[in-house]
Amino acid sequence: MKTNGIKAIVLTVLVMVMSLGSLSGQIITVKGKVTDSTDGSPIIACSVVVKETADATVSDVNGNYSISVKKGSTLVFSYIGYATKKIKVKKERLNVVLNPDNQLLDEVVVAAYSARDLADIAPQKLVVYEEARSNKAYYLRPEIIANTEDYNSFVENRFKSVTDAPLSTFSIDVDAASYSNMRRFVNQGQIPPVDAIRTEELINYFSYNYAKPNGKDPVKISAEVGECPWDKSHRLVRIGIKAKEIADESLPASNLVFLIDVSGSMNGPTRLELVKSSLKLLVNNLREQDRVAIVVYAGSAGEVLPSTSGSNKQKIREALDKLTAGGSTAGGAGIQLAYKIARKNFMEEGNNRIILCTDGDFNVGVSSNEGLEKLVENERKSGVFLTVLGYGMGNYKDSKMQALAEKGNGNHAYIDNLQEANKVLVNEFGGTIYTVAKDVKLQIEFNPEIVQAYRLIGYESRLLNDKDFNDDSKDAGEMGAGHNVTAFYEIVPTGIQFNASGNIDPLKYQQSKETKPKTSIGSKELLTVKLRYKDPDGNSSKKIELPLIDDKSNRVSSDFRFAAAVAMFGQLLVHSEFKGEASYDKVITLAKTALDNDEQGYRREFVRLVETVKGTTPNF
C-alpha cells in the first residue's frame, strides 16, 4: 500500500512536470505596440527579435507588431537611438515603451588602431573593446570622429530650349537609396547634405499604379500631364514605366553570393548586426532550388560558406551568426572572389547575382571609384548581376555604392533599419533580385509648336548623349520584376515669356536657331516618349514609343499628385533655383490629397518626415 502511495505521488509529480513543460513550450502569438517614453508616439520599424533565434519582425507605421513565440521566450526590442529592452513573454498582449538613448545615436565606430598609433591621444578620448581572442582594439570616441561620408556632387538640370535641344536622353534609375538615407538624417534631427539628395530616387521609393505590360515587351510606358504645382504657368509631365510582375514562387532559380564587409568600420548594431538580420529575412524566403554562398572581406577575402541549397536555412543562418567585424577593408579583392564563386556556380537559365553589404569604406587594394568601376565593368560581362546594400552612418561612402551599382548591372539600396530591409529583400524581392530588362534608356522628343523649353527633374548622374540612345554598346539601367520608374519634366509652353538660354547677345556672323523660321508639322502631340531595352541575356535592344497629348486640364491621378509632392520636396532639399513657389506646407498639403494607395504606410511616413524637416527649417 505504501508502495502504491509512493507511485501515485511520483506519477502526480511527473504529470505536473510534463504539464509545466507543455505550458513553457506552448506557441502563442504575441501582439502589442511600441511607443516612445517621452511623448507616447509610435516607434516605426522597431526590431522585435526572439532571443537566440532567427525569428524576427518589425513594428508597423502605428508601432504595432505581431510575432509567434514559445511562451517563456525572451523578446528583444531595439531601435536606433533607443535603449534596447529585453522582456520575457508571459502573455499574448505586450505593449513596450522604449527610452531614448542619445549615446546610441552618437555611436560611430571607425577603423581600429593600435596603442602605438594613438600614443599621442589622451586616454579619456579612447574606448576599449575586448575581442574574443583577448586582444584590445582601440577606437576613437564618437565625439572626436569627423563625419567622413562621401557623396558625388552634381549640377542641377537646367531648362533647355526645344529649338536648341529637341531631344532629352537618359538612363533609367530604379534605385531608392537616397530616400532611406535622407530618412536616416531626418530621424536624427539633421538636414541631409545637398549632394545626398537624388530627387529621382526619392520619387522612385514609392509604388505607383501604372498599367502593367500585357504584350511581348517586359516593360510598358505610361504618361500624363497636369499643372505644375510650384509654377502654375508651367505644365508638369509624368512618365512612368512598369516592369512585368512575376510571383516569387515562379521566379527562376537563384545563384546568390552574399558578399559581406566584415572590416572594423562595420562593427555595430546598424552595420554588421543589421546586415545579419537583413539577410536572414531573405534566407527565410529561399526555395530548395535557390543556392547561397557567403564571401567575406576585411584585410583579405575568403569564402565562409560554399554554395548551399536554400532548403538548408539553418546552416546559412549559422554561418551569418558567426561573422564578426575587425580589420581593414579589401573590398576589391572581395568583389573579385565573389564573381569567381558566382561564375563557378552559374545557372544558365537562372538568376545569378551578388548581394554586396557594406558601408563602402574600401581602403586596401582596388579602392578608388575609377578602379572599382573598371573592375565591375569587366566582371558584368559574365552575366552576373550586382545588388549593393549600404549600411552604417558617419563614414558611409555613397559615391562608391553608386559607382558599383551603375557599372555592375545592378541596383543600390540603403538599409537604415530592419523595416527597410524587409521592404527591399522581402516585399520587393523580385524587383531587387531578378532582372527582366537591362540597359533601359529613355529619349523624349518635344514638339516645338507646343513646348518652348523643358527641364528634367533629377537624373543628373544618368544623362546620356542623344546618339547613345541607339548605341547598344552604351550601358544603362536595369529593371527588376515589378519595378516601376518615374520621371518628371517641367514644361514651359510656347507663348510664355521665358528665356531658357539666359540673356545672350544675338549672333553676328550666323543666324541663331531662335530666329530661324519653324516648319509647321501641325501635330497636337506635346511629346513622344521612346524607350529602348535589352532582354537580360540579350545584346540587341528593342524600341517602344508612346505619344502624349496635353488637353490643358489638371485631371491627374492621385499617384501624379503624390509623386509631384515628392519632387517638390526634393527640390527644396537641394535648394533648387527652379523651385518657384514651392514650400514644405505645399508639399504636405499636396501629399495629403494622395494617401489612398498606401497599404504599407510609406506615404504617411513621408508626410511626417516633411513635417519634421519643416520644423527644423522654419524659414521655408
Q: What is the DSSP string of 325-369?
A: --S---HHHHHHHHHHHHHHT--TTSEEEEEEEE-----SSS-SH
Maximum pairwise Cα distance, the chain: 126
Side-by-side strand order, sheet with 64-70: 64-70, 27-36, 96-98
- Residue 88 is predicted with a pLDDT of 92
**Average per-residue pLDDT in the chain?**
83
Distance, CA of 386 to CA of 383 (rounded, Å)? 10
Q: Is the pTM of this model over 0.85?
A: no
Distance, CA of 450 to CA of 550 (rounded, Å)? 9
Report pLDDT digits (tens) over 301-351. Answer: 789 999 999 999 999 999 999 998 876 656 677 888 899 999 999 999 899
| Percentage of residues of the chain with pLDDT beyond 90 | 53
Q: What is the set of domains in the chain, with CATH numbers?
A: 25-101 (2.60.40.1120), 111-144 (no CATH), 160-246+437-497+517-616 (2.60.40.1230), 252-411 (3.40.50.410)
Distance, CA of 252 to CA of 350 (rounded, Å)? 5
Q: Are strands 525-534 and 484-493 parallel, antiparallel or unpaired?
A: unpaired
Cβ-proximal residues to 2 (8 Å cutoff; 6+ apart), any chain: none
DSSP conformation letters of 109-151: ----B-TTTTTTS-GGGEEEEE-TTS-EEEEE-GGGPPP--B-
Distance, CA of 328 to CA of 362 (rounded, Å)? 8
Q: Which residue has the higher pLDDT, 537 or 394?
A: 537
Burial letters for 513-525: b for 16+ Cβ neighbours within 10 Å, e otherwise?
eeeeeeeeeeeee
Give the other-Cβ count within 10 Å of 151's Cβ.
20
DSSP conformation letters of 525-573: EEEEEEEEEE-TT-SS-EEEEEEEE--S-----HHHHHHHHHHHHHHHH
- Which single residue is written with the C-alpha cell 591621444? 121
Residue 118 has pLDDT above 60, yes or no: no
- Residue 364 is predicted with a pLDDT of 43
Cβ-proximal residues to 364 (8 Å cutoff; 6+ apart), any chain: 299, 328, 329, 330, 331, 332, 333
Look at residue 47 and give its three-state secondary structure: strand
Q: Which residue has the higher pLDDT, 119 or 593?
A: 593
Question: CB-based burial of residue 38 (10 Å sphere; 0-12 exposed, 13-18 middle, 19+ buried)?
Answer: exposed
Listed residue (292, 328, 327) closest to 310, CA to CA: 292
Residue 7 has pLDDT above 70, yes or no: no
Listed residue (429, 270, 431, 285) closest to 357, CA to CA: 270
Report pLDDT digits (tens) over 140-174. Answer: 333 334 467 888 888 999 999 999 999 999 999 88
Confidence of residue 422 (pLDDT cuts 50, 70, 90): very high
Cβ-proximal residues to 37 (8 Å cutoff; 6+ apart), any chain: 97, 98, 99, 100
Residue 62 has pLDDT above 70, yes or no: yes
- Residue 514 is predicted with a pLDDT of 54
- Residue 580 is predicted with a pLDDT of 94
Cβ-proximal residues to 337 (8 Å cutoff; 6+ apart), any chain: 295, 297, 301, 302, 303
Give the other-Cβ count within 10 Å of 472's Cβ.
14
Residue 238 has pLDDT above 50, yes or no: yes
